[in-house]
Amino acid sequence: MKPENLFVTTDGHVKILDFGLVKRMEATSPEEETSAPIEPTHTVLGTVMGTAGYMSPEQARGLPVDHRSDLFSFGAILYELLSGRKAFKKATPSDTMAAILRDEPPGLSDSGSGIPPALDNLVRHCLEKSREDRFQSAKDIVFALSVASTSSFTSGPQATAPRAGRTRVLIAAGVVAALLAAAGVWLLRPTRPGTGEPGGMKRLAVLPFENLGAPEDDYFADGIADEIRGKLTSLQGIQVIARGSSTPYKKTTKTPRQIAEELNVSYLLTATVRWEKNSSSSRVHVSPELVDVTRPDAPTSKWQQPFDAALTSVFQVQSDIATRVAQALGVALGSGEEKRLAEKPTQSLDAYDAYLRGEEASKSLAAADPPSLRRAIAHYEEAVALDARFAQAWAQLSRAHSFHYANSVPRPAEGEQARAAAERALAIAPGLPAAHLALGDYYEAVRSDYLRASEQFALGRQEAPRDADLLAGTALVQQRTGHWEQGLASLRQAQAVDPRSAFTARRLARTLFLLRHYAESRETADRGLALAPRSLGILETKVMLSLAQGDLAGARSVLRAAPRELDPKALVAYLATYNHLTWVLDEEQQTLLLRVPPAAFADDRLAWGISLAQAASLRGDREKARQYADSARAAAEAQLRETPDDANRHVLRGLALTFLGEGHKDEAVREGERGVALVPVSKDAYDGPYYQHQLARIFIRVGEPEKALDYLEPLLKIPYILSPGWLNIDPDFDPLRKNPRFQKLVAGAK
């Protein structure tokens, strides 16, 4: 594949006119290779074939190739289309092939053509030297390209990009369309300007349904909307915006046009719900309306119909609405899809009611704080007790247990509950995406088994390829296994289907920050804070962005600008816990932190004790620091009796011991080393650097600067929070200021 084979027709379509080498190649045994006659017209393994400059590294080496080799060639063509120059251009073909094996092409974002970073990252992902690190299918490229083509020029510096840059993006999308169409693959084509609707696919948002009944019935109206949204998501030909981006429009005053523009959709499904209850019967009245916002004059009603049924028929009402919406959008329904739309989540209305209350308590598990999770768990448990075959409730119960295990003091019994509930969901409904999601979350959050987690997420995506939760889970395991660019691409896909999700914005902003893409991270964090001004996670990322650039005053100004509705105790506890940012707090905030009870730390006395020990130490109160550290040590030891292989508990115990005096030096080091050995960077590229950082802090505090630097230096070469600017202002590193090795690290900030 090369540019000479690609033609743009007069009607704007891209066509491939020559498939020269396209042929299915089966690997043969060594005996077959030596005994079989070789015809000159056949492609033989070990023979280099193709056009220099567009062949993959494995092709250049004469190794077996697969579909991922074509993705590399596509990346080379896309690079040339966007930049106007070849990615690998040398004086001779042999030099060009050497460059393919060895060199990286110049960045597209620096070309002056207004190419956004998102598209630059996409091309680089195609051009990975190892096929395992590339996109794994052309559909993944299409999805990522749709993100770049629809969102990269809408804000920030790319909003004024040259027209040529925009045109190149859309032509590039056409190239992908031609390639996949030629291979017989259905795809998501580029967005048609002004409609927000990808060619061939209807983009729809199911907005929160308006409850016309008693205020305490809000959860019921939300549940009906969620069930219909889930049914529509399962259909080919409809791209449904995720729940996290739709729920913020509950009781909104924005117009349909404004909502459609913000979500980049062509259709909105709205409804009113009234649940009438009396002593003899209960009835449900649902009045849905499908609104078409593609017309230039004004939004119009494409379909509407009232439904009035007994409560016992509520599942039939949900199925009927989903079916009528699909028909109104011109989506053909096969027998399998009709069956899925007609499926009932449970046979028990009481179980369904308990499930909906659990969803309300946890905001469909968007709220991951321990108190919310505990309330949700109680409702989910009630739901499965009332209907033991309620697969969706088992799946949510599993996820709630996994998140509670990860976000509070971990207890093996709870981890076992998470596993059992996920496996129960799969046993009831094999292939249910939510069940695969739950089992994947268990393997990721409880077992740290990222291979099995990835397998479960992949199985879920076979049924629901555009599920935002599955995409986010996939991104995290990709990052944990060191595939950062793949993780970034997965998060961008999640953002495409969940554009108003603060959770996705937080994860994306943090990933960009760890990759040291500071400008784009800040832009993403700002968008996230616009969606969720009280998000502690996004606020912390903005603080760390300033720290990474050596700007302590800027970090503190971010904190001063925090919304007044934000609980000050929650803010200081959060910053002190996860990345030990106690030193960023001003004097007033540190004083407040020293008055915060363990309850602000979800009753985790280890997190509470180590945070207050650091605050007291910064203020020069060694005795108070020792007392708090001793509380932390005792809590760590109690927790480690239940989870002896918990890396975080080991490194925090080691850190606590450094506050207790010289006699604890050796034990402190052993604890820190134990934590790093349990979760090295090679095993977990997401959390591993944090444990290594804490071991470096332990070595600094016990007076071993060279050993500290042995662990510190590598952290500046991998995705992590530290940077030369950070090192320059963090008081943890004051004992290293005169060390030549440390001075060399900090010199990068100047």
* Rounded Cα gap, residues 454 and 733, in angstroms: 37
Percent of the chain with pLDDT over 70: 83
**CATH fold of 553-749:** 1.25.40
Equal fold, 202-342 vs 349-542: no
In the chain, what is the straight-line distance between the N-terminal and C-terminal CA atoms, in Å? 45
Q: What is the mean pLDDT of residues 304-310?
A: 91
Pairing between β-strand 267-277 and β-strand 282-292 as defined by DSSP bridges: antiparallel
The predicted model gives 73-86 an average pLDDT of 84
Token couple for 429? 């409904």
On the question of pLDDT at 126 being above 90, the answer is no
| Residue 286 backbone phi and psi in degrees, to 5 | -125, 125
Mean pLDDT across the stretch 559-582? 92
Q: What is the pLDDT of residues 678-717, one digit of tens each?
A: 999 999 999 999 999 999 999 999 999 999 999 999 999 9
User: Per residue in 367-403, pLDDT tens?
Assistant: 778 888 999 999 999 999 999 999 999 999 999 999 9
The pLDDT of residue 53 is above 90: no
pLDDT confidence bin for 281, thresholds 50/70/90: confident
Question: Which CATH number is 349-542 given?
Answer: 1.25.40.10
**Could you tell me the two tokens for 398?**
């599993």
* The pLDDT of residue 144 is above 70: no
State the pLDDT at residue 560. 93
User: pLDDT, tens digit, for every residue of 25-44?
Assistant: 444 443 333 333 333 334 44
Full-model pTM: 0.70
Candidate from 77-91, 149-163, 593-607, 689-703 with smallest mean pLDDT: 149-163
Looking at residue 62, what is its pLDDT?
72
Residue with token string 């913020």:
248
User: Which residues have C-beta within 8 Å of that of residue 702, sequence separation ≥ 6?
Assistant: 658, 665, 668, 669
- CA nearest neighbour of 343 among 445, 243, 434: 434
- What is 202-342's CATH number, 3.40.190.10, 3.60.20.10, 3.40.50.10490, 3.40.50.10070? 3.40.50.10070
Tell me how far apart the alpha carbons of residues 63 and 60 are, in angstroms, rounded to a whole number.
8
Residue 152, pLDDT score: 45
pLDDT above 60 for 96 = yes
pLDDT > 50? residue 211:
yes
Contacts of 215 (CB under 8 A, 6+ apart): none
- Cα angle 143, 147, 153 (rounded to 5 degrees) comes to 155
User: Using N-to-C axis directions, what is the helix angle for 412-428 and 433-445, rounded to 10°?
Assistant: 160
Q: What pLDDT does residue 161 have?
A: 47
Q: Where are the domains of the chain?
A: 3-182, 202-342, 349-542, 553-749
State the pLDDT at residue 1: 57
Neighbours of 433 (CB within 10 A): 23
Concatenating the DSSP letter of every residue in 196-264 gives: --BTT-EEEEEPPPEE-S-GGGHHHHHHHHHHHHHHHHTSTTEEEPPHHHHGGGTT----HHHHHHHHT
What pLDDT is attached to residue 750? 46
| Overall average pLDDT of the 656-676 stretch | 96
Cα 260 versus chain centre, distance: 23
Worst-scoring range by mean pLDDT, 212-216, 584-588, 632-636? Answer: 212-216
Lowest mean pLDDT of 597-606, 650-659, 720-729, name the range: 597-606
Residue 530: the pLDDT is: 86
Model confidence band, residue 113 (pLDDT cutoffs 50, 70, 90): low
Gap between the Cα atoms of 145 and 157, Å rounded: 19
DSSP conformation letters of 623-652: HHHHHHHHHHHHHHHHHHHH-TT-HHHHHH
CA–CA gap between residue 208 and residue 157 (Å, rounded): 34
**Contact indicator for 616, 624 with CB cutoff of 8 Å:** yes
CATH 3.40.50.1240 fits 3-182, yes or no: no
Q: What is the mean pLDDT of the chain?
A: 84
Q: What is the pLDDT of residues 449-472, one digit of tens each?
A: 999 999 999 999 988 888 889 999
Residue 101 confidence (pLDDT): 86
CA distance 361 to 367: 8
Residue 154: band (very low, low, confident or very high) from pLDDT cuts 50, 70, 90:
very low
pLDDT at 11 over 60: no
H helices of 702-738, where? 705-712, 724-729
pLDDT of residue 114: 63
pLDDT the model gives residue 519: 94
Sole residue written with tokens 């300007």: 193
